[in-house]
Structures are given as structure tokens and as C-alpha cells.
Chains A and B, each alone.
Chain A
Amino acid sequence: MSFIDFTDVSKRFGDNVVLDDMSFNVANGERVTLIGPSGSGKTTILRMLMTLTKPDSGTIAIDDEYLWHERRGDDLVPASEAHTRKVRSRVTMVFQQFNLFPNMKVLRNVTEAPIHVLGKQKDEADERARELLEMVGLQDKADFYPSQLSGGQQQRVAIARALAVEPDILLLDEVTSALDPEIAAEVLDVLRDVAKTSDVTMLLVTHAMRFARDVSNRVLMFNEGKIIEDAAPEQMFNEPQHERTKAFLKSVLEEV
């Protein structure tokens, strides 16, 4: 078993097949970028790992523990809330729309889960949060509400908030798509830093191809609910094998 295992996972929304019997795995510490046209199932993969979207069939496991199921004797049964929470505790996600809690100041956004989910002491959580805010360059914004920050600043807080729960797996869902290119660059710099200084496993959906090339060591090309190409970034971006990948990369690179 690998670190993350998708086995025969399918998902449809109505008549639309989003994932078609998909299997793939990710090793511990890998940085995997998911690329492909919109609607090809990339975000659904992240959402399933975060337990936000339920697969219709198939299994997903993290470190040999099923996310949506649990073992009972020889059978697999739907997971209880407690089981899901236990497995999910290793994963967190940064969202396209930041999703900071508007009712909490920046510092509390970052400390809320460490205190109430991980059970840390407030002093310890505050100290760690301030370190993380410094890492994302926002140490002076601790006492602001999210609504007082720019989009790029909010996303950097969201990154600090995600790291504060000490994840083994960090999911990044189009984290710069809602930002201006210049602001996006600040956020990407922070993430480059995270990639360099930690050994967290990363799965990212992004249209920022240069960033994908910089931080990932593997790229998966999605099309119509299937992975059609799986390669190292140099290979994927310089010598794509599949015609669909060539066409997709050409359209994306022309856009920028």
C-alpha cells in the first residue's frame, strides 16, 4: 500500500461522469500537481480526500486506513463519523475562496483548530500561530478581521491556518485562481517556501504551470474522469506524450 490510495473510484453528478473507475496512488512526501480541463475531476479528487464529496464507489485510503469505509471483520462498511475524523485528521485543505472565518480575528482563525481540535494550550497555539503568520509575512495582521485584509493576505492566512493543524497531507485547490497575477505571486512564493521547508505531502490543482513545475515532482493529466498521463514535470511540460495533453498545455501556456 502506498501513502494515499485511490482504488476504482467513480463519481457522477447526474449524467455527468466526473471520475470513471479511477485508481492511482501517491507516496509519502510527494508533491503532485493535477492538471486538465475544467470538469475533468481534479477538484473532485481533492474534495474526496477532504471528505467533502463522497465517492459513488471505490475506496480511498490514507496510510492503509480507509477514509470513507471501515473494516468490520472481513467486510467494508461505511465509516462512522469518529473513524472519518481520525483518518481526516492527517489532511487539510486550502480553498480557492480562502474561506477564513469572518467572525474571528486572524490569530484566532489560526489557533481555533489547534486549541479545540488538537487540544493545545492557548499560549502554545498563539505562539505557533504567530510563527506561522510571520512565515507568511503577516505577523502584523494578527489582530485584524479577515474583511480588513486583501485577498492575497487572506489566502496567506488560510495557508497559515492549514499548517497550524500539522497536516501530513496538504490539499491546494486552485488557491490563486481568485487573485490578480501579482497578488497570486505572493501566495505562490509562500507555498514555494512551504514546499522547501517541510516534508508535507501535497496535492495541488492549479493553472499556474510554472509554479507546478517548481514545486511538484509529479504531474497527473486529467481528461474526462481519467488520468491520461502521469509523469515528472520536466517530462510532462517538455515532452507530453498524449495528444490531449499537448493540446491542453498549448492552450494554457498561450493564455498566460
Chain B
Amino acid sequence: MSSAQLGLLLYGAWKTILLTLGGMALALVIAFPVGLARVSHNKFVRAIGFTYVELFRGAAVLVLAFWFVYALPSLGWQLDPTFAGILALGLNMGAYSGEVVRGAIQAVPPGQIEAATALNFKPSQGMRRVVLPQAVRAMIPSFGNNVIEQLKATAVVAVVSIPELTFNGQLIWSGNGRAAAVFGGLLIGYGLMALIFMTGVKLLERRVAWT
């Protein structure tokens, strides 16, 4: 492997990490309001959360990426391709992560909310001080899962010419024709990155334990 090829792969890996973390950051920013909306007592607010989840969970990342990279510019709105990729990934993962938030909130035992009521917390105080801290801890393993899913989904946006790992791998392959070596290498690369992300999540899980 030439140093040019190595540089291409490293740059691609860097873009992949950027897309993963950017997409996941956007997903988390979306997930909390969406998840909270899904458990709201207000029917209208619940409907907004529900609509978001159904809309973006069902939207193919690939089609979203086409939309941001090709359709929006045709309407006169140019986006940086990497930013467009992050949008496509994050909007979709935000729907999944919103469901994680909802599930974790609903999994907090009712006795906790009853105790908050018995101490005369406002519902919003009970949510912020009692329910959410417990729910967030329960969310972390699922978010870890989502990060890995997000990492793998980044390969999809190679199609819109974002020079991430898969895109650059394809470039190298078209140059040397060695499919087994190139795509074998990519698999190992994704595996290594997944391992790093997972280790990070595990460390985070340990930090938030209450003992």
C-alpha cells in the first residue's frame, strides 16, 4: 500500500468518525425533546413527537442524503456535503434515539414518581430531579448501540460523494482492483472504530453507576 493510499484511508476514517459523532450528537439533541414529547400529558405535544418518530424512522438515510445533497441545491440551497451527511444521519437516528428516551422514561418505576408527588415536587421537578437522572443511566447502553448503528450507516452516505472510509476505499479499489484486500481492510477498520466507540460507552456506563 502506498502512502497516498494510506493517507486516503486515514482521511476517510477521520470523516467517518466525524459523520458518526456529528450524526449522533444531532440525534441526541433531537432525541430528548422528541422522547419527552412522546410521554407528555398534552395530546398535541404527544402527536408532534409521534409524527417526528414515524416520519424520520421510516425515512431511508440514503434518500435523506440525496435530498440534502442534490434536491436542496436544486431549490437554491447549497449545503456542505459532510454537513448534509450529518443531517441525514442525525435526523434518522434522532427518531430511534427518541424512542430510547421514551422507553427509558417509561421504565422508571411508578413508585419514584409517587414519591416525588408525596414530597410535593412539581411534575417538571419530578421529571428533572428524579425521573430523568434514572432514565439517562438506563439509556446509555442503548445509545451505545445507536452509535454503532450510526457508524455503520455512515457508509451509506458514500453514495453522495462524501469522502469517508467506504468512498475512499472504493477509490483505491478502482485504482488497484484488489477487492478482497481493500474491503477486507475496510471491515477491519470499521470493526476497530466500533470497538473504540463501545469502549467509550462502557467507561461512561461505569462512571454513572450509583454505588
**A-side interface residues toward B, CB under 8 Å?**
50-52, 81, 85, 88-89, 91-93, 95, 97, 99-103, 112-113, 116-117, 145, 147-148, 161-162, 165
Contacts and interface: CB of A to CB of B under 8 A. Distances in A.
In the complex, which range does the number of interface residues on chain B fall in? 20 to 34
A102 B134 contact: yes
Contacts of A100: 115
A97 B111 contact: yes
Q: Which 3 pairs, one residue from A and one from B, show the smallest C-beta to C-beta distance?
A: A113-B119, A99-B115, A99-B111
A195 B55 CA distance: 58
B120 interface: yes
B134 to A, nearest CB: 5
B206 interface: no
Contacts of A148: 211
10 contacts: A50-B114, A51-B117, A81-B122, A81-B123, A93-B118, A95-B114, A99-B112, A101-B130, A102-B210, A113-B121
A103 B114 contact: no
B118 to A, nearest CB: 4
Contacts of B118: 50, 52, 91-93, 95, 162
A88 B210 contact: no
A102 B109 CA distance: 11
B137 interface: yes
Given A95-B115, A99-B111, 6 more contacts: A85-B120, A88-B117, A101-B112, A102-B210, A103-B134, A113-B119
A148 B211 CA distance: 7
Given A101-B130, A103-B137, A112-B129, A88 B120 contact: yes
Nearest to A93: B118
A46 to B, nearest CB: 10
Contacts of A52: 114, 117-118
B133 interface: yes
A215 to B, nearest CB: 20
Contact of B119 (A92, A97, A103): A92
Q: Among A81, A103, A112, A117, which residue has the most Cβ atoms of chain B within 10 A?
A: A103
A100 B129 CA distance: 13
A203 B130 CA distance: 26
A178 to B, nearest CB: 11
B161 interface: no
A245 B119 CA distance: 34
A117 B112 contact: no
A103 B133 contact: yes
B119 A50 contact: no
Q: Among A93, A102, A148, which residue has the most Cβ atoms of chain B within 10 A?
A: A102
A145 B111 contact: no
Contacts of B40: none
A113 B126 CA distance: 10
B111 A117 contact: no
Q: Among B123, B130, B210, which residue has the most Cβ atoms of chain A within 10 A?
A: B210
B117 A50 contact: yes
Nearest to A91: B118
